[in-house]
Structure 1
């Protein structure tokens, strides 16, 4: 009697797909920078506060994207400080470099780098930050241990992740609809994803297991405010590569139908003041002993 092998998560393939997604979505992520700032600004400020980032600090930004939070950090550390923005995607870092130039900042550098394999010396940074990046690493422990390695003793790592699906319906509703329409199985064991670190205690445990001390988290209400559900769909359609990846097996007509269904569901979050998509972020910090 034949037994069917349980499908295994393929981290190498996943990482390549993630790289390709961000190469494609780079321009859109940059174009929506002001929306990202408005949506995640409060959580970003909390992350920088919890990491104790101040004037003259050397800061590493992992999975920096188009660098909007790198710019915020660079202003905080001032001309005597330094921010290294890293990402797996070269295209998206081109926009981070452009943003730094437009802001007139000379203390931001960019480097293509895999967060699980940092090509950096030990104990060279005062702080490491990662905004909505850690959730997408196939080996989150390896990424955290690499962050720990490059930190100076007493330095801090701070990261922002989504909490649970029920608190993030602007994103979990589309994910659920796509999963249903594309007949996708549940995520495989060990598979990264938007809500992989959101449950109570999971992020704290990950930091502690990686070797950090004085670990703590804070939950930040971060509603996504846009003019309409239609604009939210446009934002997600242009910028959220993971949603396109989930729909890759569908025909163009089916994809269009899925986006229509998503928009209908998201209309529930429209008010007289526009669209307010429920979102809760968790900010974690840990210290290098």
Structure 2
């Protein structure tokens, strides 16, 4: 019988494979939106031209592809549980002429790399989905060389992220969803102040830094925002899938009404806030 963590991982593998097409479709929008978070993360990870780097939960490829451009004599491994997402990343790497990349389908809690292999290890927006975050953090630290920096980006508080909380809150109100148990994968599980610093220190990392970074998700219309979120946000699509046609229509109507509060200069602008954290392998 599968453990709870194994069931979650199997479900996530199928879901992310299914959503890989949406991430490919919205690639330009995702790059423009999340670039400030990735820039802040990479500032915490000193890279040399010959650095060997591990991107855990690499998804559709960024910031790993950007890292590969910065380490032309090095190597970047993109690791993810979803083969579908990695195929998207591989296609983008090929289009950009990048050849210093490897793609590894694996579980973040059981990385298939030797101890002290990488000059930098990071995870961008993946930790919140791991069934056992402490196990993934231990693996990331194990794979890093002594003196290497290990970094992560996670979403901040729900109130500071209306890009997601607006639509998720509306779905929850219509469906009267139960409160998930503590520790359940979810976008905002890493948001409490100091949570990530403690996790990094518990993994044996030192010189831990933590800071907030904010930007806006911008869309030209409510319709465009709705299409984007239902294509790329697995939590949104799963919530809507459990609603009947009438409830789904009401949710959409309420979301559109709420989006009016965020219209500025002819566009919908939704605040997005993340925590960037990094520590040193001792």
TM-score by length of 1: 0.93
Distance 2:266 2:247 in 1: 32
1:217 aligns to 2:205 (yes or no): no
Provide the C-alpha distance between the structure 1 equivalents of 2:212 and 2:48, rounded to a whole number of angstroms. 22
Write the distance in 2 (CA, Å) between the matches of 1:265 and 1:17: 31
Q: Partners of 2:253 and 2:13 in 1: how far apart?
A: 27
**What per-residue deviation string (whole Å, max 9, x for no partner) do you get for residues 231-253 of structure 1?**
11111011111112223432233
**More displaced 10-residue stretch of structure 1: 268-277 or 89-98:** 268-277
Q: What's the offset of the Cα at 1:264? A: 2.1
1-structure distance, mates of 2:260, 2:5: 35
Displacement after TM superposition at 1:15 (Å): 2.1
2:7 is equivalent to residue 35 of structure 1: no
Which residue pairs with 1:241 in the alignment?
A: 234
Distance 1:171 1:286, change over 3 A: same
Query: Aligned residue for 1:59?
Result: 53
- Separation in 1 of the partners of 2:249 and 2:99? 44
Match of 2:123 in 1: 130
Q: Which residue of 1 aligns with 2:67?
A: 73
1:245-267 Cα shifts (integer Å, max 9, x gaps): 22343223322332232222123
For residues 12 and 263 of structure 1, do their structure 2 counterparts lie closer, same or farther at Cα, with a shift above 3 Å needed? farther
Offset at residue 17 of structure 1 (A) = 2.1
Counterpart CA distance in 2 for 1:191 and 1:181 is 21
Please give the secondary structure, in 1, of the residue aligned with 2:63: helix
Q: Identify unmatched segments of 5+ residues in structure 1.
A: 1-8
Alignment partner of 2:192 out of 185, 195, 199: 199
The 1-side partners of 2:65 and 2:21 are apart by 17
Aligned length: 280
* Alignment TM-score, normalising by the size of structure 2: 0.95
SS at match of 2:188: coil
CA contact under 8 A between 1:215 and 1:287: conserved in structure 2? yes
Q: Kindly indicate whether the alpha-carbon contact (under 8 Å) linking 1:68 and 1:99 is maintained by their aligned counterparts in 2.
A: no
Q: Partner of 2:269 in structure 1? A: 276
Contact 2:231 2:237 (C-alpha < 8 Å) held by counterparts: no
